[in-house]
Amino acid sequence: MTDAQPFTAPTPAHTVHPVYVIGGGPGGLAVAAALRGRGVRAVVLEKADAVGAAWRGHYDRLRLTTTRRRSALPGVPMPRSFGRWASRADLVRYLDKYAEFHELEIVTGVEVARISPAEGDLWRLEASGGRKLTGSAVVVATGWNHTPHLPEWPGRDTWTGTFLHASRYRDARPYEGRDVLVVGAGATGCDLAADLAEGGAARVRLAVRTPPHLLRRATLGWPAQRSARLARRIPVRLADALLRLHRIGVPDLSAHGLPRPADGPYTRAEAGRPPVHTTELAALVRRGAVEPVAAVEAFDGAEVVLADGARIAPDTVVAATGYRRGLEELVDGLGLLTPDGAPAALAPRAAAPGLYFTGFGDPVDGALRHLARDAARTAQAVPRDRARLLRARAKARRKSPAGTAERQGAGLKAAGEAGPDRDSAPA
């Protein structure tokens, strides 16, 4: 990473109240580096024992679907040795180097349970170990993959087989020779089904409620990420047509139980269901190594009941059913979340000046690229908004009766101090 360029900025002043960044993933590190680049002291609080905890915990097969060049965070490019599509392990090493390069102030082993306003336009953080911290601003960067989500399937407590959420899956070795059902046909579910089929599982079925768009990461060398960037600037109909070009080479799997969606890839992505970038899964489905089945409706002892009424009896169920953001307890009572628990706005609201969220969007052109852009915006907004807030508070105090009395008292005191000097002056 010798071609990296650090932010040129003064060493951050160690003010009494720093900006606290909650979360040591890519978003939190990028914001902290950008704040440091503006001379603002930022302290990253990470509940795990190292940065990039979510990426350390992902399955080994995982690779970015965005190019190395356009996945780097500000100030440090990813090295060419990562190849065009960086692996999970590569990204973990990159995040370690990123924190070291920017000399970020990171405290690990600290989990923040609650954020609330404090006196003096500050913020109070209640953290593990009974810690109570006070910050001039707070940036929440805990990300999407905070709390594993499991649907409330009837009868799951009666299930006699092995059950795990995808967050606990690392590789296929423990499942060699086993009959495995993967629930969920998003990017993770499709990856795990392919990994299991190629890794020696005796049988792999994929429970699908909503068939995904299967696209190539690149078509004739042109990355789907670049098409997605263009798609954001053109009408939806054209955007769907543009992204459909990346279906070239991906066969229609309707005859195998995985039909192509009726709506376009961009339309689906804007509704929160991004396309799945894979070619391996399609080949495995065609030759029967991965069998699409209907969605899971319930569990009944050793059997899984599917939406079409079929009953199957796998040895293992892997639930690739996503995550909750886990923000409800953190910012309870502040009125900042939508009904599904997402930040209602990324910029601070009037009810919570000095509180920011980053990394909760799901842009079709790549999450890491979005984090890099958002870090710059947030780092610019934090000192600007703080200065505006302090000016507004000072102006309000001057206009208040107490402020008027204070100024009058100060004037009388100054006059009294000046009087004797004039009286004692020589005639």
Residue-level pLDDT at 425: 35
pLDDT band at residue 128 under the 50/70/90 scheme:
very high
Return the SS3 of 427: coil
Q: Of 81-90, 110-119, 240-249, 258-267, which gets the smallest average pLDDT?
A: 240-249
Residue-level pLDDT at 406: 52
Specify whether the CB–CB gap between 260 and 211 falls below 8 A. Answer: yes
Residue-level pLDDT at 61: 93
Residue-level pLDDT at 350: 62
pTM, whole model, 2 decimals? 0.84
Nearest CA among 105, 101, 97 for reference residue 12: 105
Q: Distances from the Cα of 384 to the Cαs of 115, 198, 348, 397, in angstroms?
A: 21, 53, 12, 20
Residue-level pLDDT at 404: 54
70-93, pLDDT tens digit by residue? 899 999 999 999 999 999 999 999
Sketch out the chain's domains with CATH numbers. Answer: 19-146+325-391 (3.50.50.60), 150-322 (3.50.50.60)
283-329, pLDDT tens digit by residue? 999 999 999 999 999 999 999 999 999 999 999 999 999 998 889 88
Q: Stretch 99-105: mean pLDDT, rounded?
A: 98
Residue-level pLDDT at 421: 39
Nearest CA among 146, 362, 278, 98 for reference residue 90: 98
Q: What are the φ/ψ torsions at residue 157 (nearest 5 degrees)?
A: -70, -10
Specify whether the CB–CB gap between 74 and 34 falls below 8 A. Answer: yes
Q: Distances from the Cα of 207 to the Cαs of 70, 319, 381, 408, in angstroms?
A: 33, 10, 44, 75
Q: Looking at per-residue confidence, does 224 or 106 come out higher? A: 106
pLDDT band at residue 117 under the 50/70/90 scheme:
very high
pLDDT band at residue 341 under the 50/70/90 scheme:
confident
Tokens of 381: 């907004």
Specify whether the CB–CB gap between 91 and 247 falls below 8 A. Answer: no
Q: Stretch 229-235: mean pLDDT, rounded?
A: 76
Q: Of 152-156, 161-165, 326-330, which gets the smallest average pLDDT?
A: 326-330
CA trace torsion 175, 181, 185, 187 (10° rounding) = -10
Q: Which residues contact 394 (CB under 8 A, 6 or more apart)?
A: none
Task: Look up residue 16 and give its amino acid.
Answer: V
353-394, pLDDT tens digit by residue? 899 999 887 676 678 888 989 999 999 999 998 888 888 888
Q: Distances from the Cα of 202 to the Cαs of 139, 180, 210, in angstroms?
A: 46, 8, 25
pLDDT greater than 70 at residue 193: yes
28-82, pLDDT tens digit by residue? 999 999 999 999 999 999 999 999 999 999 999 999 988 898 899 999 999 999 9
